[in-house]
Amino acid sequence: MHSLSIMLKIWVSLVLWATFVQLTTATDVDPGVLDACPGYEATNVITDGGILTANLTLAGQACNVFGDDLQNLSLTVVYETTDRIHLKIVDSSSARYEVPESVVPRPDSSKPVSPSTATIQFNFTTSPFSFSIVRSSTNEVLFSTGSHPIIFEPQYLRVKTVLPDNPNIYGFGEHTNPFRLPTDNLTLTLWSRDAPGIPPGTNLYGNHPVYFEHRTTGTHGVFFLNSNGMDLKLTNVNGSSLEYNAIGGVLDFYFFAGSESDPSAVARQYAEVVGLPAEVPYWSFGLHQCRFGYKDFVDVAGVISKYAAANIPLETMWTDIDYMDRRRIFTVDPQYFPLNRMREIVDFLHSHDQRYILMTDPAVPFVPNDTDYAPYHRGSDLNAYLKAANGSDLIAIVWPGVTVYPGETLFLTRELVLNTPQDWFNPNTTEFWNNEFKIFYSPDTGIDIDGAWIDMNEPSNVSPISPADGTQLNPPTSCHQQFCNLPCDDPFQQARDQNLPPPRSNPPPDPNTPIFQNTSTAFQERTGALGSLPVLEVPVVTSLEKRDDILTPPYAINNAAGPLSSKTAFTDAVHVNGLQEYNTHNLYGTMMSSATRAAMLARRPGKRTLIITRSTFAGAGAHVGKWLGDNISAWDQYRFSIAGMLNFATIFQVPMVGSDICGFNGNTTETLCARWAMLGAFYPFMRNHNSDTSISQEYYVWDLVAEAARNAINTRYRLLDYFYTAFHQAHTDGTPILQPLWFKYPRDTNTFPVDLQFFFGDSILVSPVTQENSTSVDIYLPNDTFYDFARLAPIQGTGSTITLDNVNFTTIPLHIRGGVVLPLRVESAATTTALRKNDFEFIVAPGQDGSASGKLYMDDGESIEQSETTSVDMSFANGSLNVTGSFGFATGVNVAHVRFLSVQDTPKTVTVNGATVADGSVSFDATNKVLDVTVGVLFDKNLSVEFS
């Protein structure tokens, strides 16, 4: 078969065996031992306006539980705004790793406020040093280290705060726990890993060390800006508490006052630190379809045609790694997905106002002797790949076989450099990535994609597990290969053993096979092997001084994959500025996200784009959206997709989020897929996607699912401008686009654990059926006025659970929260482009006080900088609706109707802009109490509609 030179074998063995570590288990230490540590004494405390500084000196005999306690620390506390305190504790004698500013830009702290004006206060005790954050108005303690000493060691940091009994804690992700976190001995681990099946109770793809705590007295938040691996422990033993256990970095905390009455305030305050969400194009809210396992270009074209034939609006077609030549990024398989036929598919989609997206993984095949694969060589010439500890390119195994990871430009010493561009932000790596996107995705000569999808960016190197029984997936072409298992001493042999890249299982199609036959009519009616292996010279190994135990740190976090380096890049890999993967591992996906966004924006300057990633860190939403990973076609995962979505959209400031609808791994069922198609229509990011070893699950496969999808998408599309407005608001100030019930009813304790219902936007309550084969659902309605979305009839909530019966498999229960004016399109359409040509109608749903209000924002849907926008406010009181604002962007449509809800009797007079409306333009539904007024005026100026 294939052969390697003796020198190459020796080199690979030396490099990779040197980084091999034995399996480790999570560290379990008696909390009493940690609480017995001496902590620190605060001295030389200086207060200068809104800034406090102090020296922290070890207050007694060192406990040295996971290393030597540092003797001297420096404390800085800054009242950055009236609602935010920034606390930072660092080693006073030497620099330590901190999250680079290039990854998470810090907010301006140059103008601190006076503590006397702040809504939260920093209090402290000097010896042993402890601190608390209290709410100024009530003196309520929000965070307190109390009797729990701070521990600060080279590879272990510990901070512990007391919590109220039965606290309401939300956040700390990524995970698949309930939205309100259990506090009975729960450990949440932050360390990026590929997690097929997204099992509950384990670390997953992303890292967001932020939580919101909600009380009936208010809501506040805490953000720990640290990218090192960590365990977060919630326990109610001897009182409720939260304990941070990080394996590096510094103690860098932001405390947010939130609000005593409005939980959404803390989300806006968090956005001020990590960045506001990136605005996405209007079309990105349409339906997306993908599958890992489309066999060839004929298969892909056939899916597009079948959606059209089934009258299901398909906005964007996606293709997984199937299109690649031997799984190599920036290639197409010339037999199965020839470039000319792929361009034909894209041209067809664009001519029908549809879009196309392809998968792009980070791993680049390591093929020094294959001169035909130019991307590898261009990256090598730029020295753009992640380095092993000895300075050579880090070797891994992913889909193409033996690979390297983008991430470097040159090898430096291990001297620590803080807050300088690294990895994907490095000019050479950025040049490499931008250039490959420019070439391969060229509108003129390549595949003209409209957005990008990036995966495997933990970075991943994964073992397979079956969603059903924990065994390995089979056949070997399934979603997750073993890839390079530790010790990974011969990755070339492992690649051969795993048959990477996997061969095709079907013969290639005739390259001249006709596609899209009769499809245009349907739309009009609707509106390989490894090859030879390289022989390399033995590289010169650069001597590095070993400082810490980077591969096996003394405190072992509860990483579900085992050792830190298991199934990912080795933690002693070196970054361009000398930082190690040990510290920056959790940032890789977000850095790739930023670079990919930059590459897409360079292709189409001035135009928004959609980037969907798998791995994220705090602040990722400023660049990209997120899908919740490789889930399973199972009812429990259907249910906890809601909590996962709420975490990202409500807490983490990553609002463009959704799960693989109908499930990725395993076989869905007709009823599960029908229910999921309807729930998925209320994910911000709506995509059907499944694996190559699963049955087909496109919506048209079952008549029941097709009908459910059409119904739900019809409602979503009619609400799209309402939701687009919410997304624009999120981009403007960080207000979440999805909200849990307690955000709207913060003093109703019954809402605190609810995570199977949520508000889509500000006012649409979504209450999906969540049990298999059930046609009923118990939902909670707070003490407020609601309206059935289908009938528009009022329902008075009483702060109790009600049962909805006879909910068929093509219906999802929706309610309008009273007090809102909703802008809806009068009907749906086949594409979002066609949708924008449909007229508006306004639904006026009064609250308990009889008033209602709403907003509508419109622009061209794709430009980053808008030259013209339309922004209107809608208000209703005493029978009068007023729509006022600016109309810079031409809507090009009419206001067709206004529907007033909860009207008790037929009005005597109705006027539009002061003119009496003819009787034939007014109808009244006495059963549902709906007054329908035909308006029919161009939506280009202020509007008033009154009845009496």
Task: Examine residue 459 and say whether the peptide bond preceding it is cis (omega within 30 degrees of 0).
Answer: yes
Name which of 460, 438, 456 is nearest 447 in CA terms.
438
**Which tokens in the block code for residue 246?**
């990080």
> DSSP string of 566-612?
TTB--TT-B-TTS-BHHHHGGGHHHHHHHHHHHHHHHHSTTB--EEE
Q: Which of 455, 692, 748, 841 is catalytic?
A: 455
Task: Examine residue 491 and say whether the peptide bond preceding it is cis (omega within 30 degrees of 0).
Answer: no
The secondary structure of residue 936, as a DSSP letter, is E
Q: What DSSP element (H or E) covers 429? A: helix 427-440
Q: Which of 260, 299, 393, 630 is catalytic?
A: 630
Contact 199, 227 (CB under 8 A): no
Residues 6+ apart with CB under 8 A from 561: 193, 567, 568
């009519």: which residue's tokens?
521
**Distance separating the N- and C-terminal Cα atoms of the chain:** 88
Q: Is the dihedral of CA 550, 551, 555, 558 positive or negative?
A: positive
Backbone phi and psi for residue 905, each to the nearest 5 degrees, phi listed first = -140, 160
510 as an active site residue: the answer is no
Distance from C-alpha of 820 to C-alpha of 935, rounded to nearest angstrom: 19
Distance from C-alpha of 441 to C-alpha of 433, rounded to nearest angstrom: 11
Distance from C-alpha of 205 to C-alpha of 194, rounded to nearest angstrom: 6
Distance from C-alpha of 640 to C-alpha of 175, rounded to nearest angstrom: 10
Q: Which of 458, 721, 784, 859 is catalytic?
A: 458
Contact 331, 544 (CB under 8 A): no
Q: Which residues pair with 215 in a beta bridge?
A: 218
Distance from C-alpha of 903 to C-alpha of 896, rounded to nearest angstrom: 20
Name which of 607, 655, 685, 609 is nearest 860 in CA terms.
607
Distance from C-alpha of 630 to C-alpha of 616, rounded to nearest angstrom: 15
Residues 6+ apart with CB under 8 A from 44: 53, 54, 55
707 as an active site residue: the answer is no
Name which of 579, 574, 424, 382 is nearest 102 in CA terms.
424
Tell me the C-alpha to C-alpha distance, in Å, between residue 46 and each of 42, 85, 91, 250.
11, 16, 18, 21
Phi-psi region of 761 (alpha: psi -120 to 50; beta: other; left: phi over 0): left
């990919």: which residue's tokens?
596
Q: Which residues pair with 421 in a beta bridge?
A: none
Distance from C-alpha of 711 to C-alpha of 924, rounded to nearest angstrom: 25
Residues 6+ apart with CB under 8 A from 799: 748, 750, 781, 782, 783
Contact 599, 433 (CB under 8 A): yes
630 as an active site residue: the answer is yes
* Amino acid at position 554, single letter: P
**Which tokens in the block code for residue 812?**
């999802």
Distance from C-alpha of 599 to C-alpha of 595, rounded to nearest angstrom: 6
Q: What angle do CA 722, 724, 727 make, to 5 degrees?
A: 115
Neighbours of 93 (CB within 10 A): 10
Distance from C-alpha of 715 to C-alpha of 702, rounded to nearest angstrom: 20
Show which residues are catalytic. 455, 458, 630
